[in-house]
Structure 1
Amino acid sequence: MGHALDYDDFGGFGHPTVAIFPALLALGESIGATGRDLMEAYIVGCEVGLAVDYATHYHSQQMHRGFHSTAILGRLAAAAACAKLLKLDQQQTSMALGMAGSMASGVIHNFGTMTKPLHAGMTCRDGVMAAQLAQRGFTAGEQILEHPVGFTATVIGDEHTDLEEAAGNLGKPFRVQDALVIKKYPSCGGNHAMLDSIFGLMREHEFTHRDVANAEVVQSFASTVMLYEEPESDLKGKFSAKYNMAAALVDGVVDIDTFTDEKIAEQDMQDMMERVGMRVQSKWEIGGGTVSKGVPIRITLNDGRVFEHETPRGEILGSQVNPWGMDNITGKFRENAGRVLAGERIEDAVRQWQDVTGVDDVSAAIRSTLVK
């Protein structure tokens, strides 16, 4: 459920929070954990997942093989987080990670379907199961990362990775503080730099989709997530750069209501998509050092004016270098929660969870904000 709208955070090994925090909520509720317990375990999980990602360059170099990093590295992260929450010892934690290494799965072909968010659900489930089984004495391989036929060599496909530095530098510094991006738009993170550019140009030059003769978005040849040029369903629309650009131009906003079958079928939207072109950067261009830092866009108006912009991926609104601000993040929460909770209970939820480290009993906090 946390991943179904593709509105959770992203960065590092895909979608770290949704691969970890729901598992901790479930486990924390069952053992009466505090909010501080959850945060400490969450950070441990993130750091483990990010360390393996950085050591193996998985997300940046290996996703072209078709594995979903949230589900692959997320298994290790979730297991590590749950092991921390259960206060497992070194041997038990090693066993939990060993089990998680055999559970890792999830392919990008399922993006744009209900199975993509199922990846996150299964990741959380497996993290809880691995930690609980380890607590009960279940065994697994003790060298899941470094063994010649372990996780790194077999699943990631890199048997030569040196993990010593990654292990030795856990928390020195903490990677999580620089890795995560808070999503402003409920679609694949690959769209966000492009959307920031479009909305910036629309504000600056005051044009609408009726003024646009044509638009172009540039994609890398290595892109594995923008699977749909002509999406016909809401979930596929989240993984279509063409549809995201058209929706931004037509509606001037991209939000939850953007991604419905009815919205995609609207005539204005279909007409705009016909005016949106995609250019794929060749391997030669990228190999020659001209790889884009973001997702370049080019918009040509009916009067002949041409606007171009490229927002670097590291400067997306919601990133650490370009923060969205707590007021906006809280506003996003209120808007989303308002679809299922009454106003008074939304504010109760804000008070309970805005500073999770102040929650004394996770189970009580969860009960206070359940949909009734």
Structure 2
Amino acid sequence: MSVTEEIAAFLSGANREDIPSTAIAPAKRHVIDTLGVAVGGRQTALAQPLAKTFPRGADGESFLWDGSGRTNAGDAALINGTLAHSLDFDDGGVALTPMHPSSPVLPAVWALCESAGRSGQDALAAYIFGVEVECKMAGAVSLAHYDHGWHATAVLGAFGAVSAASWLLGLNLEQIRTAIGITASMTGGLRANFGTMTKPLHAGLAARNGVMAARLAAAGWSASQNILETKKGFFDVFGCGEVSELNLGKPFHFDSPGVSLKRFPSCSATHHCIEAMLALKQEYGIGADQIDSIHCGVNVISHQALRKEPQAASAEEARFSLHFTLSMILLEGSVELKHFVPTMLARDDVRALMEKISVGVHPDLATLESKKRDFGEVAVTLKDGRKLSHRATRVRGRAPLFLTDADVDAKFLGCAEPALGVEKARGLLTALRRLESQEHLRSLLPAAYGLAR
């Protein structure tokens, strides 16, 4: 059985009852987390040009997560997906190939569920099925795919989105294979756009393309029936290596090994060194005025993603900067959303400290395979001549240090309250906690926002 057929067979035979409770509980946390960071995204710089480009009004198939109105399902998936990835605070996969699973899949699911009047239980099931496909693909493809410059959230995320959409639309096996074939010709996303507004757009495009491909397949469109493995097909062209079987649902990825949630609002490549710097500050009580220099050692893939220049000109660039995030720890004691603003980037003490920080590939992490034993090491030289260092091998939010329900609630409110106000943010959180009891998803968000259906 080809991989394309394996995915189609899995989805065409999948039922809500197939999902174990051990996968449902973490999936609900990720739904809440994704909606929270998307609502927070309404305050980012990209929200205004996004609104100018994609009109919205009182009518339309699907509601926009920032509360700005409704639009067609495809545009809603694109807008919500872009917002969900705009803060780079959305969840991450645990496969060797790094990606953000929820920002491409959940917006596609939500848009179609609202359009078709589907329930909260259907939405949760479709979301789990979509994440299952993209995360198993991320675990199966060669890391060379990512190393070559492809953004896996954009490329593999589109297959997660179309998988979820295909299940929701009830496509048969042949139609699902067609939808996958269509998606393969629409997918893309280059890592050279990291640190710009176009990176979060990748997630939005993946979500929209999943909706479009599934609808085209349902309407009778044609495409290759084995696009993933055929010569000049997806695996071949995108440098994925040999992929033989995904083992979908055996177990579900949400069950084991799990999907990570972010504790820090910056690129995942910064997180090991953030943990290391926090440990050094806690152990030695060091402050910014004591620093002579700091060097960060990371894996070769993380080094590709991170900024090498000390200064950052925008919040988008700062999210990929160890110079900035470590400066925040030393000057502000933490790394929080409130720090990623122009006034902070322009502060003289911040800019001066950023110049003292450098980033390089750790000699033990110079090969692609070395990412399997990932860590981040921070070496500090103080003005009095002392040299301190710490190697962080664990990151909060990743296995085995997954965030709890209480952690996710606090993160959600931290993202949503500045954008919506305390009352609406807490009301939205309460509504999302009752997702499974929602008979028609179309009314959930407007009701939480205090708007008409």
Is TM-score (shorter-chain normalized) higher than 0.5? yes
Q: Aligned-pair distance for 1:352?
A: 1.0
C-alpha distance in structure 1 between counterparts of 2:287 and 2:123, whole Å: 45
Residue of 146, 153, 156 corresponding to 1:70: 153
Q: Which residue of 2 aligns with 1:42?
A: 127
Equivalent of residue 350 in structure 1, options 429, 435, 445: 429
1:257 counterpart (314, 338, 346): 338
Is the partner of 1:156 in helix, strand or coil? Answer: coil
Matched residues, number: 363
Tell me how far 1:288 sits from its aligned partner: 11
CA drift at 1:185: 1.3
Shift of 1:31: 1.0
Match of 1:226 in 2: 306
- Corresponding position of 1:319: 398
Of 355, 365, 368, the residue aligned with 1:274 is 355
Q: Is the 8 A contact 1:10 1:183 kept in 2?
A: yes
Question: What's the counterpart of residue 168 of structure 2?
Answer: 85
Contact 1:228 1:236 in 2 (8 A): no
Match of 1:32 among 95, 110, 117: 117
Residue type of the alignment partner of 1:225: A
Q: Which runs of 4+ in 1 moved over 4 A?
A: 282-292
The CA deviation at 1:349 is 1.0
Distance 2:372 2:106 in 1: 34
2: CA distance, partners of 1:362 / 1:370: 14
What secondary structure sits across from 2:380 in the alignment? strand
Aligned to 2:281: 202
Contact preservation (8 Å) 2:365, 2:374: no
Task: Look up the match of 2:90.
Answer: 8
Residue ranges of structure 1 left out of the alignment (5+ in a row) = none
Q: 1:190 aligns with which of 269, 272, 278?
A: 269
1:24 shift after superposition? 0.8
Q: Distance in 2 between matches of 1:309 and 1:283?
A: 15
CA drift of 1:33 comes to 1.4
Moved more, 298-307 or 134-143: 298-307
Q: How does 1:280-319 map to 2 (within 5 A)?
A: 280-281=361-362, 286=367, 293-312=374-393, 315-319=394-398
Residues 1:333 and 2:418 are matched in the alignment: no
- Residue pair 1:188, 1:239 contacting (<8 A) in 2 also: yes
CA distance in 2, matches of 1:154, 1:2: 29
TM-score (norm 2): 0.75
Is contact 2:176-2:214 (8 Å) kept? yes
Q: How do 1:101-250 and structure 2 match up within 5 A? A: 101-158=184-241, 161-163=242-244, 165-166=245-246, 169-177=247-255, 178-222=257-301, 223-229=303-309, 230-250=311-331
CA contact (8 A) 2:178 2:222 kept: yes
8 Å contact from structure 1 (residues 218, 279) kept in 2:
yes
Separation in 2, partners of 1:332, 1:16? 18
Counterpart contact for 2:276–2:391, Cα < 8 Å:
yes
Q: Indicate how the Cα distance of structure 1 residues 181 and 371 shifts in structure 2: closer, same or farther if over 3 A, else same.
A: farther
Q: State whether residues 299 and 374 of structure 2, in contact with CA within 8 Å, keep that contact through their aligned partners in structure 1.
A: no
CA distance 1:289–1:137, shift in 2 (3 Å):
closer
Please give the root-mean-square deviation of Cα atoms over the aligned residues, in Å: 2.2
Q: Give CA-to-partner distance per residue, 1:297-339, whole Å, 9 cap, x none.
A: 1123334443322222xx3101130022211210111121112
SS of structure 2 residue aligned to 1:297: strand
| Structure 1, 354-363 or 344-353: larger mean CA deviation | 354-363
Give me the whole-angstrom Cα distance separating, in 2, the residues matched to 1:16 and 1:193: 20
Give identity over the alignment, percent.
29
Q: CA deviation at 1:268?
A: 0.8
Kindly provide the CA deviation profile for residues 117-169 of structure 1, in whole angstroms up to 9, marking residues without a partner as x: 111111110011111111111111100112112111112353xx142x32xx2
Instruction: Return the alpha-carbon distance in structure 2 between the equivalents of residues 287 and 323 of structure 1.
Output: 25
